Structure formats: C-alpha cells, structure tokens
Structure 1
Amino acid sequence: MSQRLIESESESGTDQSEVRDPSDGVKNKLEDYTRRLSQLGLDLDSDSNSNSNSSSFMVEEAQKQKTVDHQLTKQGTPGGKITIRFQPIGAISAVRPAACKISAEQHFSAVVLFLKRRVKVDTVFCYISNSFAPSPQQQVGDLWRQFKVNDELIVCYCATVAFG
C-alpha cells in the first residue's frame, strides 16, 4: 500500500487541502521524459511499467557486472595471486628466480621496490612487455588482465631509460 502525503493550503497554494500520492511525481517525470523522447524521435515504450522494468533490469545487470569484474581479478590465480616474469634489458643483473607471484591488489610500485632491492640498484625502469612504463599507482591485477601472456605478466627492467 502506498503512503499518501497531505498537502496543506500553504504548501499547495490552493484554498483546499488535497491528498497527493508520492508516486504521481515519478509518473509525471516519466511521462515528461517519454514525451521529450518522442519529440526527438527516440520514443521508447509508452508503457511506464516497461520503463520501470527496464530500469530494474539495468540495475541488476550492473550488479552482475560488478560481481564478474571482482571474480576476474582473481580468476586463474590461486588465492588472488598472479605470476610476473622478469626479463632484464641491457647490462643489469637478472633476477633469480625469473618468475614470482604477487597479490593482484598490489600497486605496481611494489614490483619496482622489489626489483630495486633484489638487483641492489637505486633506480630501475620497468616496462610491460617491452612496450610501455605503467603508472606506479596502477594495480598489478589490472595490468595482468589487459596484458598477460600465457597467464603471466611480462615485466622488462633496466638501469637506464630503454624506451621513449
């Protein structure tokens, strides 16, 4: 049962008190929106029930997409960890072992810090698959999902600027 509001004389600007249904405002807005769309030739369904059904469908689809995105972060990796394979460029020492695992939620700056400590240098330049240098704030899981090769993220590193 819908709740009804009583509008007094001062609120409505009329001499009589009237009873108003709160859903009337929403219906009026939907009708106005539909009228504007029809003027533009973009008329959707004229039935307001189908409009509300499509709105709830879009909300449900957005929630499903969030769930799928969250699952993709950890997909293919046990415990939400991804594999990074390190490849040296130039005259910098190689990291042993060449592959390691890191949490998908970690920022790329953690990878850079790991390499600095492991190779014992003050500065290291990292590139994803010999093509670009990611932002230190970028999440490793996002990079892995977009640029993985054989379920590994290839991180090339060197002591001097190699590209760009």
Structure 2
Amino acid sequence: MDNNPVNEALPDAASVEDNEQNVEMPSHTDESLPALPNSAPATPKADNKTPKITVVLCPVGGAPIMRQRKWEVDSTQTIGFIASFIRKKLTLQKSDSLFFYVNQSFAPSLDQTVQNLFDCFGSDGKLILAYCRTQAWG
C-alpha cells in the first residue's frame, strides 16, 4: 500500500470497538472569539410573521356570492384551507362540490400553497381565485 490516505482501507466493523467514554468538545469562550467592529451591521431580527397575500374570491357559474371578496391570507396556507373557509362562510356541506380556478383557467390542487400560486399567477399584488359549485373551465 502506498502512503496516500485516500487509498487506505476502512477497518472492519467487527474490529472497531464501541467506546462509550464521554468526550468533551472544546468550547469557545467570549475571550477567544474576535470582537465585531462597531461599524458592523446589526443582525436582523427574525420576523416570525408570515407574509400575507391578497386573495380575491370571485363567484362563477351561479355560485353564492360572498359579502367580502378580498381577503388577506397567510402565504403558507393551501387551497384546501381556502376551500374549508369558503365552505364555512357559505354554509356548504362537505359533500357539496366546490371548484377553484386561478385566472379563470387553471384548476389548482388542494395542496398548492397560496405563495406558490401567487408567484406563478399573481398580478397587481393579488391572486384572483374563481370558485364555483359546478365545473366551469377545463
């Protein structure tokens, strides 16, 4: 064998003993770390609030009309969440059909996030969602 460490064979699992000793990892103290200069920018604080996206809900094909059309929705919410919300607002049963369309053409799946749909199909800072009780397009 040559002295190249890449070519060395790994030991067999049977020849390696399990060592249960507690090994202390070296820790850095404040004295060992260099201090940041005063001109360094402060670390930005994490904003725990998820961004909101304006969703405009438009009834299509004889669907019941909601009093309020524009809603601010967390960007992490899904179309399934919006479907549950509309069912509750319009007092629809779970067995009642409810279809959604983005820009009156694309039917998103219920697990699509509002953020993803907004990034792909949003316009003028809004996501337009049409809803109806019967299949309208496609």
| Aligned equivalents of 1:19, 1:115: Cα separation in 2 | 70
The 8 Å contact of residues 50 and 75 in structure 2, kept in 1 or not, is answered as no
Greater RCO between the two (CA within 8 Å, min separation 6)? Answer: 2
TM-score, with length taken from structure 1: 0.53
Match of 1:126 in 2: 100
Structure 1 residue runs of 5 or longer lacking an equivalent are 1-11, 13-17, 25-77
What is the DSSP-based 3-state SS (H/G/I as helix, E as strand, rest coil) of the residue aligned with 1:19? coil
What is the DSSP-based 3-state SS (H/G/I as helix, E as strand, rest coil) of the residue aligned with 1:111? helix
Structure 2 residue runs of 5 or longer lacking an equivalent are 8-48
The answer to whether 1:90 aligns with 2:61 is yes
| Aligned equivalents of 2:58, 2:52: Cα separation in 1 | 19
The answer to whether 1:104 aligns with 2:54 is no
What is the DSSP-based 3-state SS (H/G/I as helix, E as strand, rest coil) of the residue aligned with 2:71? strand
Which 4+ runs in 1 deviate beyond 4 A?
A: none
What is the DSSP-based 3-state SS (H/G/I as helix, E as strand, rest coil) of the residue aligned with 2:127? strand
What is the DSSP-based 3-state SS (H/G/I as helix, E as strand, rest coil) of the residue aligned with 1:145? helix
Alpha-carbon deviations, 1:28-58, whole Å to 9, x = none? xxxxxxxxxxxxxxxxxxxxxxxxxxxxxxx
The answer to whether 1:153 aligns with 2:124 is no
The offset of 1:21, in angstroms, is: 4.3
User: Structure 1 or 2: larger helix share?
Assistant: 1
The 8 Å contact of residues 127 and 134 in structure 1, kept in 2 or not, is answered as yes
Alpha-carbon deviations, 1:102-123, whole Å to 9, x = none? 1111121111111111122232
| Residue identity in the other structure for 1:19 | N
Q: What count of residue pairs does the alignment treat as equivalent?
A: 95
Q: Give the CA RMSD over aligned residues.
A: 2.0
| Aligned equivalents of 2:84, 2:3: Cα separation in 1 | 67
The offset of 1:157, in angstroms, is: 0.7
The 8 Å contact of residues 128 and 134 in structure 1, kept in 2 or not, is answered as yes
The 8 Å contact of residues 105 and 139 in structure 1, kept in 2 or not, is answered as yes
* Identical amino acids, percent of aligned pairs: 29
Match of 1:20 in 2: 4
